Structure 1
Amino acid sequence: MSKEGPIRLAVFASGSGSNFEALVEAVRKQTVDAEVALLVCDKPDAFALTRAKRLAVPSVSFYPKQFPSKGSFEKEVLDHLEEAGVDLIVLAGYMRIIGSTLLEAFDNRIINIHPSLLPFYPGKQGIQDAFDAGAIETGVTVHLVDEGIDTGEILAQEKVAIDPDDTIESLEEKIHAVEHVLYPEVIQTYIKKLQKEYA
């Protein structure tokens, strides 16, 4: 494998895009040695797209239901990734399970961040599930993506205490604060690994 220039990232988001913006800021501060080449969004009304426009990051958005199959949706996405020269996919609040089309094209090059200490509280409501269970701690996990739901190899974890006076809103704020620091750090470490493979 050989690679000229910086690693090019595509960020996938479905919602607000706060982790997307934190990553763009980290790139611009040069704490992450990469370029954010593309934002991919599966909800054309998501606020992440507004952030992308403000940050001057190219973006594409599609309603998956407009496609006859998951494979055809992912093939459309893959075409845009290849056109943008993307090396690494970073999921940031992307609420869809990645299918075989993207997994095969980006083997060990898709990273996700999940708001719990996996394997506890996988799935869409990690923060809510930990809160509802009365857990005394939860956290953030960064992991590689495989065909399962939040089951890929764990790259890093950080604990977050759930205090007796926490509300779901205050817990979400604490989780997001950790995510915005941890995710860029782990991505930078993984980029260094990729650069060695490309060398």
Structure 2
Amino acid sequence: MTPLPTQPHIGLIVEGPGDKNGVPVLFRRHLQDVGEYRDILGKPIPANGRGSITTPKGIEGYVSVAASRPGCRGILVVIDSDDDPVCELGPALLPRAQAVSKVPVYIALAERCYESWLFASAETLELGLTYDEAAHAQFAIKSGLHPTKYVKPVWQPKLSHRVDIGLACGRSPSLARALVKLDELVLRVVSDFTMAG
């Protein structure tokens, strides 16, 4: 379920169609683990690849759309860091995003890619994988699926559902940071529910 645009929610901006399906599954799993069962994740806004967000006026357009939804209480932008250092990319994008939003905006960078978050729980993905910090996560997942093709919109939500959040956070600092940011935004939304009740 997804809340209506008028209901209090967290706006999500994601990199592409696979993330559109996978990120909410992963985040809802985390929310359930911490005892939050309300529908507070807004319908994700997918970009057409990371370049659409990092290009001039890119992130600004996506954030403006998310912030314009009446129930939006905060925005979480989830993209891959790829080869960029997260300590540079995040600080470069954040002021651009905040300049066009009246609600808090956080940037969550999957270091190196979303598959790295999934692969951090390699043993629970049911692909016969063993975690190796030096492995290329997407290549490892593709190898584990072979001969089945890795189609992101299909496999990212399936694999996100299999992730052991605690295990993955222990191996992926970028996932742990993303969930801390999510928790901070959850507090804003929950306070609205409390005031309404």
Of structures 1 and 2, the one with the larger relative CO (CA 8 A, separation 6+) is: 2
Question: TM exceeds 0.5?
Answer: no
TM-score, with structure 1 as normaliser: 0.42
Higher strand share: 1
